[in-house]
Amino acid sequence: MSELHPPAGHDPAAKNESAAHHEPNVRHTPERRRAGRGHLRFFWNLLFKALRKVGSHAENFYAVVGIFLLIGAAVAVAGTLAFAELGKHIQKGATQDFDVAVLQWIGTHHTPLLTSLMNEITPLGTGVVVLMIVGVTAAFLWHTEHKHSARLLLASTAGSILLNNVLKFWFDRPRPTVFEWQTHAASSSFPSGHAMSATVVYGTVAYLLARLQKHLWSRALTLTAAVVTIALICATRLYLGVHYPSDVLGGIVVGLAWSGFCMATLEASLVLARRRAPAKVVDERPAPIEHAVAAENASASDHGASDRPASERVATA
């Protein structure tokens, strides 16, 4: 019997390859986004994880951008309304009794050691220190090709300084005189500039760094350090007698509203940039620490190979 041969020009492998090319395109996400990026479930990462998930399945590109901008506007509006309500109560004097009672209690618990410690911590929220942190962080982000993040940090910081000065001028609340101040202070009291700048700067820096990290523990550590730093700075303003509790609360609320809007704007701008610019510019990759690890592993592998007997190296070759 004669053997059956496939028709000329018929290649099953080529047919399979052609069929594979006609399959629907599969969206591949960068490895760094697959490695634990969506598992952090607190603070702002929870919000933006959900938004990125929705955005990844959205068919309309402009709908994705709109989602980020809409949630940023919602956060800003909610924070603004809460701040406006608090400001209204302050202007009516509704918080004064509570504010004074809290400061009186704090004044009875002053100690020389604690006063010295608070005076060491409170400069972390001053303009010079905050601007230095912003400058160093922005330079690092820019140098490691995270230029959108660097721009966001600079814009959010400049905006918070301008906004705080406008709000202080508008409310013009006198500073407390419950007990003698333990540090120097200027300008009006509401909202607290230290509380607002700490919330915006340390919160934004922590967010930008955490979104570039692959491991859950490192993200949690970064965000926890930011929260603790903000809380300590806010506590010093009460302990030193230069702010009422409502001043500090107002600074935190408006700081969260402004930084939340900036973070949402960053995510929207990255979606736009990925559409319009090369991936290497807008991918916002982490610092190349993995390359160093890979080099160390390769070096260790080479050393291990050199330690083997010559016969094994020859057999392997």
Out of 21-30, 116-125, 270-279, give the one with best mean pLDDT. Answer: 116-125
In tens, the pLDDT along 227-244 reads 999 999 999 999 998 999
This prediction has a pTM of 0.67
Averaged pLDDT for residues 131-141? 90
Place 63 in a pLDDT band, splitting at 50, 70 and 90: low
Q: What is the mean pLDDT of residues 23-51?
A: 51
Per residue in 291-310, is it b (16+ CB within 10 Å) or e — as a string? Answer: eeeeeeeeeeeeeeeeeeee
| Angle value at C-alpha 262, between 201 and 257, nearest 5 degrees | 75
Compute the Cα dihedral for 158, 161, 162, 167 and give only its sign. Answer: positive
Which one of 21, 148, 194, 291 is the catalytic residue?
A: 194
Mean pLDDT of 75-86: 86
Q: What is the pLDDT of residues 1-18, one digit of tens each?
A: 444 455 554 555 444 444
Question: Quick one: pLDDT at residue 288?
Answer: 45
- Give the residue ranges of DSSP H helices in the chain: 12-21, 31-34, 43-57, 61-92, 96-107, 112-121, 127-143, 147-171, 193-210, 216-239, 245-276, 279-282, 289-307, 310-316
Q: Establish whether 57 is a catalytic residue.
A: no
Predicted confidence band of residue 53 (pLDDT cuts 50, 70, 90): low
Give the model's pLDDT for residue 309: 52
The yes-or-no verdict on residue 191 having pLDDT over 80 is: yes
| Cα–Cα dist 153/32, whole Å | 22
Q: What is the mean pLDDT of residues 90-108?
A: 90
CA distance 316 to 312: 6
Q: Are 58 and 67 in contact (CB under 8 A)?
A: yes
What's the whole-number mean pLDDT along residues 67-85?
Answer: 80
Q: Dump pLDDT digits (tens) for 254-302.
A: 999 898 888 877 777 776 666 665 555 445 554 444 444 444 555 555 5
Query: How many angstroms separate the CA atoms of 193 and 271, rounded?
Result: 33
Residue 40 in this model has a pLDDT that exceeds 50: no
User: How far apart are the C-alpha atoms of 18 and 217, rounded to whole Å?
Assistant: 44
Q: Which of 38-47, 165-174, 264-273, 275-284 has maximum average pLDDT? A: 165-174
User: 28, 57, 184, 243: which is the annotated catalytic residue?
Assistant: 243
> Which stretch of 128-137, 204-213, 261-270 has the lowest confidence by average pLDDT?
261-270
Is the confidence at residue 304, as pLDDT, over 70? no
Q: What are the residue boundaries of the structural domains of the chain, listed by start?
A: 47-288
pLDDT band at 156 (very low <50, low <70, confident <90, very high): confident
pLDDT recorded at residue 17: 47
What separation in angstroms does the CA of 226 have from each of 103, 138, 200, 220?
Answer: 25, 17, 10, 10
Tell me whether residue 39 is one of the annotated catalytic residues.
no
